Amino acid sequence: MTNLVDRYVLTALRRIPEQQRADIDRELRASIDDAVEARIDAGETPEAAVESALTELGDPERLADRYADRPNFLIGPDLYPIWRRLLKILLATVLPLVVAIGVVVQLFDDPDIGKVIGGAVAGVLTIGAHMCFWVTLVFAIIERTGVSREHLKANWKLSDLPKYETNRAGLAEMISGVVWSVLLIAALVLQQFTFTDVPLLDPANWAFWWPVLIALFTLRAFYHVWVYRLGAVTRAAAVVNAVLTVAYTVPMVWLLATDRFFNPEFHGFLDVNGGDVKDWISMAAIAVLVLGGLWDVVEKFVKAERARRGLPTRVPGTGGSYDFS
């Protein structure tokens, strides 16, 4: 039975750093001897006592991890909430943005609908998998090395409770608004000089409409910063939002409806059943602009009114409202 104990101890020691093995070897054997002697005193045979003692100690590899203070999990409870929060933010913001850019580039390069859909699906799976892998890898390294772990961990305090102010303009909303304005301006400018030899949008509009839209998108970015500094959507902010929305929606709808939005020299659109895909894209864009603009205007006025009246927050699924003021 000594051979059984040796096999158990050797299996455990193989997973322990070499400089710790001598001390743990003595400690583990002493613990096993004490357990075996206690069982023999209780009336068990030596063979049965050894088997019972080793069985009670359990898997020697798990025991070695406890001795070496090595975690048996990829990401522990201290870092898991931070890992989950960061991954959700990346998958909800960066992933759609990167995939959308890929779709736009594919439309310019080869607007085959099958390739566009296939590229979008492949982008979601590939980029999403990379995000999950690399974020998890970084947190797993932090978990095992402890590097900067104390900076990531934080003892929860009552002051950490988020302020559920229904109509408060948050930092994330401000950043997303500014980023989208910048992306629209960049797309408008870059399509003229990159992606294809022939620009997608009508170059004749650079004489007036494209500079006007760039100016309006710039004002839109400043609007989001202004609302964030106000702290909430006020009536004035709702009115300004409505004016800006109408200011860039009306000319874009007019350009699309009069076939002055897309470059007539651009022939990258497909023909489906004798109809130009450009017509379908124009109609879809008009619908998105009108419905999206109406939604945004109404939402801002509703927020402004709720903020003015100090109405409590409605929580879906509870059947009630909560006053967080």
pLDDT in tens, 235-289: 899 999 999 999 999 999 999 999 899 888 877 665 544 446 777 888 888 998 9
pLDDT at 168: 58
Q: Are residues 299 and 175 in the same domain?
A: yes
Q: Which residue's structure tokens are 């008009």?
A: 286
Q: Are 75 and 140 in contact (CB under 8 A)?
A: yes
Six token digits for residue 225? 């910063």
Indicate whether 149 pLDDT > 70.
no
Whole-angstrom Cα distance, residue 256 to residue 201? 11
Question: Mean of the pLDDT values across residues 113-128?
Answer: 79
Sign for the CA dihedral angle at 159, 164, 167, 173 comes to positive
Name the least confident of 1-15, 54-68, 261-275, 283-297: 261-275
Which amino acid would we find at residue 263? N
Q: Are residues 58 and 89 in the same domain?
A: no
Q: Are residues 287 and 306 in the same domain?
A: yes
Determine, yes or no, domain membership for 108: yes
Q: Are 18 and 65 in contact (CB under 8 A)?
A: no
Q: Are residues 58 and 80 in the same domain?
A: no
Sign for the CA dihedral angle at 154, 157, 162, 163 comes to negative
User: Which pTM was predicted?
Assistant: 0.50
Whole-angstrom Cα distance, residue 261 to residue 57? 75
Q: In residues, how long is the chain?
A: 325
Q: Which residue has the higher pLDDT, 19 or 258?
A: 258
- pLDDT confidence tier of residue 120, bands split at 50, 70 and 90: confident
The backbone torsions φ and ψ at residue 218, rounded to the nearest 5 degrees and listed phi first, read -65, -45
Determine, yes or no, domain membership for 220: yes
Q: Which residue has the higher pLDDT, 91 or 204?
A: 204
CA contacts within 13 A on the Cβ side of 7 = 8
Which amino acid would we find at residue 315? V
Determine, yes or no, domain membership for 160: no
Q: Are residues 319 and 178 in the same domain?
A: yes
pLDDT tens, residue by residue, 33-46:
888 888 888 888 88
- Percent residues over pLDDT 90 in the chain: 15
CA 284 to chain centre: 28
Q: Are residues 172 and 254 in the same domain?
A: yes
pLDDT tens, residue by residue, 300-318:
888 888 777 665 555 555 5
pLDDT at 274: 46
Angstrom distances, CA of residue 48 to CA of 29, 119, 182, 274: 17, 64, 75, 86
Q: Are 201 and 191 in contact (CB under 8 A)?
A: yes
Question: Mean of the pLDDT values across residues 59-82?
Answer: 74
Domain of 195? Answer: 166-325
Indicate whether 204 pLDDT > 50.
yes
Name the least confident of 4-13, 166-175, 205-214, 219-228: 166-175
- pLDDT confidence tier of residue 223, bands split at 50, 70 and 90: very high
Q: Are residues 201 and 145 in the same domain?
A: no
Q: Are 95 and 131 in contact (CB under 8 A)?
A: yes
Name the DSSP class of 312: P
Q: Which of 14-18, 60-64, 135-139, 175-179 has the highest mean pLDDT?
A: 135-139
Q: Are residues 170 and 319 in the same domain?
A: yes
Name the least confident of 19-28, 55-64, 158-167: 158-167
**pLDDT, averaged across the chain:** 79
Q: Are residues 18 and 87 in the same domain?
A: no
